[in-house]
Structure 1
Amino acid sequence: MLAVVVNEINKLSSIEVREIEPPQPESNQVLIESVAAALNFPDLLQIRGKYQIVPATPFVPGKEAAGVVIAVGTDVEHIQPGNRVLVEVDYGAFAEQVTADAQRTFLLPDEIEMPTAVAMGLVYQTAYIALTERASLRAGETVLVTGASGGIGLASVQLAKAFGATVLAATSDPTKFDAVRYAGADHVIDLSMAPLNDKLRDQVYAVTGGKGVNVVLDVVGGQAFDASLRSLAFGGRIVVLGFTSAEIPNIKSNYLLLKNIAAVGMTINGYFAKQPEIVNAAQVEIINLWRQGKIRPNIHAELSLHEFANAFEMLENREVVGKVVLSLG
């Protein structure tokens, strides 16, 4: 089968598409014929050797794919060959066939196309759980989303709006303002203004009547996190989802104390490991919201497996609005 193969860590020129042996499912796994796979920012970190999980080379990157089940392990009961599914893995998704744990395999309705399904996987699950489980978002509250034009960002904007929140979408690229508005943002916050520590809060206060926001979902880190923390209302909650700025901030705990602020983290891998039932429930609700027309993933580009280098370049250059999908079917 054809697959994208990383031969050397932190060397994009070492990545190639070539034939490899197809994987075989273990007793608790499924094997799918992949139709589409989606890129995520952690894929780039993994290839660069900067992610929590760095496989031994050579390895196949990619964290999610959608396709049709062609075989199941002996212990798998609720999934059958022929089922249309979304699968999520630590790596291995950028290939014509993919194995995945049954626990991380989600049945898809017939009416959803595979590229749409895979573009609505990890990022929407992450955003859904961040808003509902970690931020305890309530209808009528205000939400600030940093990195709002990326995969998790756009998903967060759409879901927060679907949950009845007023959404402030923050991005540093003016060319992406229209995209976040189209996704449902009520207000756009410009992260390119300096000094950001003051300018972000000024913009937030201007549209919230000086109250600040109830919830922040932060994927950027660095100065954006520091400034977002200052924009929270009394009793606000900030959820740490990543550090696309490559800067990990330090939190001054006295500030949390003075404004009764809660700062929490969230990674989807932790839920897969400890509370997979929450991910399953989130996926059911995500599909329901899609059926109701309340969420729609933005596919920035759909490329072939052989165009993987273009896909990685788009991701690394921060050109992507939403998701890039690789077509394998």
Structure 2
Amino acid sequence: MRAALVREFGPVDQLTVETIADPEATAGHVVIDIHATAVNFVDLLVITGKYQFLPPRPFAPGKLPCGVVSAVGPDVTTLKVGDRVLTLHEQGGYAEKVRVPAHDCYVLPDRLSFVDAAAMSLAYDTAWFALCERGRAKAGESVLVLGATGGVGLAAVQLARAYGLHVLAAVSAPGKAQQVLDAGAHGVVDLSQGDLIDSLRDQVRAQTDGKGVDIVIDTLGGDVFDAAIRAIAWRGRLVVVGFATGRIPTLKVNYVMLKNIEVSGLQVSDYRKRTPDEMAHCIREIFRLVEAGALRPSAVTRYPLEDVASALTALQSRQASGRLVLTMNETASL
């Protein structure tokens, strides 16, 4: 099989597509013929050696690949050859095949293609845990999604709308407003306005009857976090998902005490490892909402496996629009 291998941590352009031995289906495992794998920001951290969990080299990066079961281990009864699945595998997606534990596979709904499933993976489960588990969202509450035009942000907007929340989406420029409104946001917060700390709070209060929002989903950090913490309602919750702006913010906890608010963090891979039952519930919920027509994947740009370095470079330079997905064969859209 072909695979894009990391032999030494470093720049993305040193990734090489090589031919290596096919994996075999051992006890408790299945082999997946991969059709599509999303290219995620976390992959850049893994490839460059900056992620907190680094696999032994050489390895193929790529989280949560999607494909078809092509072989099953002797004791596997939950899957069969030909099943279309999403896997929760932490690496190995930048390849034509991968061996994964059978319990880490979820059969895809008929209406969900491999490419769309790959585009939704990691983004929608992250957004679901941020909103539902960390944020404890309830219908009728309000949520502010920061970084709303990113993969996790757009997923959070759609999920919050599907669950009956009032959704405000923060955008970096007015020209991006229509994208989040089309995704289901009820209102927009413009982060390009001057005096961010006051302007963000004022925009939020104007759209929440002066109360502030019950939940903030923050993928940005930096100055936006500093402003958003002041726009939270009494007993509100802010969930830290990432620091896309580059600066990890700090917080004076007296503000947390005075407003009875909570600040929590989300590392979604821990749920896959520590609480597989919760992750299974999350995946089932996402699939249910897909089948109900309440969720739709973001726009996708496809790259063949051989162009993996180009895909990673586009992501790294922030030139990418929508989700980037590697496709491994001609049937990846099925």
Please indicate the TM-score interval, normalised by the length of the shorter structure: over 0.9
- Corresponding position of 2:308: 308
Residues of 1 paired with 2:319 and 2:140: CA distance? 32
SS in structure 1 of the partner of residue 136 of structure 2:
coil
2:171·2:177 contact (CA, 8 Å) conserved in 1?
yes
Q: CA RMSD in A?
A: 1.7
Q: What residue number does 1:293 align with? A: 293
Q: Classify the secondary structure of the residue corresponding to 2:65.
A: strand
Please give the residue correspondences for 1:208-227 in structure 2 after superposition, counting only pairs within 5 Å: 208-227=208-227
The letter of the residue matching 1:98 is V
> How many Å separate the matches in 1 of 2:73 and 2:240?
36
Distance 2:156 2:204 in 1: 18
Contact 2:35 2:114 in 1 (8 A): yes
Q: Distance in 1 between matches of 2:195 and 2:202?
A: 11
Letter in 1 for 2:93: A
CA contact (8 A) 1:29 1:99 kept: yes
- C-alpha distance in 1 between matches for 2:226 and 2:302: 35
1:213/1:231 contact within 8 Å kept: yes
1:216 touches 1:232 (CA, 8 Å); kept in 2?
yes
Q: How far is 1:175 from its partner?
A: 4.1
1:44 corresponding residue in structure 2: 44
TM-score with structure 2 length normalisation?
0.93
User: Is structure 2 residue 135 aligned with structure 1 residue 135?
Assistant: yes
Give the direction of change, closer, same or farther, for the CA distance of 1:193–1:285 in structure 2 (3 Å limit): same
Q: Is the 8 A contact 2:37 2:65 kept in 1?
A: yes
Q: Deviations over 1:258-281 (max 9, x none)?
A: 001011112221111221111111
Alpha-carbon distance in 1 for matches of 2:28, 2:104: 10
Letter in 2 for 1:131: L
CA distance in 2, matches of 1:23, 1:155: 33
Count of aligned pairs between the two proteins: 329
Unaligned runs of 5+ in 1: none
Gaps of 5+ in 2: 330-334
TM-score (norm 1): 0.94
Q: Could you tell which deviates more after superposition, 305-314 or 172-181? A: 172-181
Of 132-141 and 20-29, more deviation after overlay is shown by 20-29
Aligned-pair distance for 1:54? 2.0
Deviations 1:187-223 (A, max 9, x none): 1222233432222212212222221100001111122
Judge conservation of contact 2:38–2:323 (CA < 8 Å) in 1: yes
What is the alpha-carbon distance in structure 2 between the residues aligned to residue 255 and residue 94 of structure 1? 44
Counterparts of 1:100-249 in structure 2, within 5 Å, are 100-249=100-249
Give me the whole-angstrom Cα distance separating, in 2, the residues matched to 1:2 and 1:46.
Answer: 20
What is the identity percentage for the equivalent residue pairs of Structure 1 and Structure 2? 44
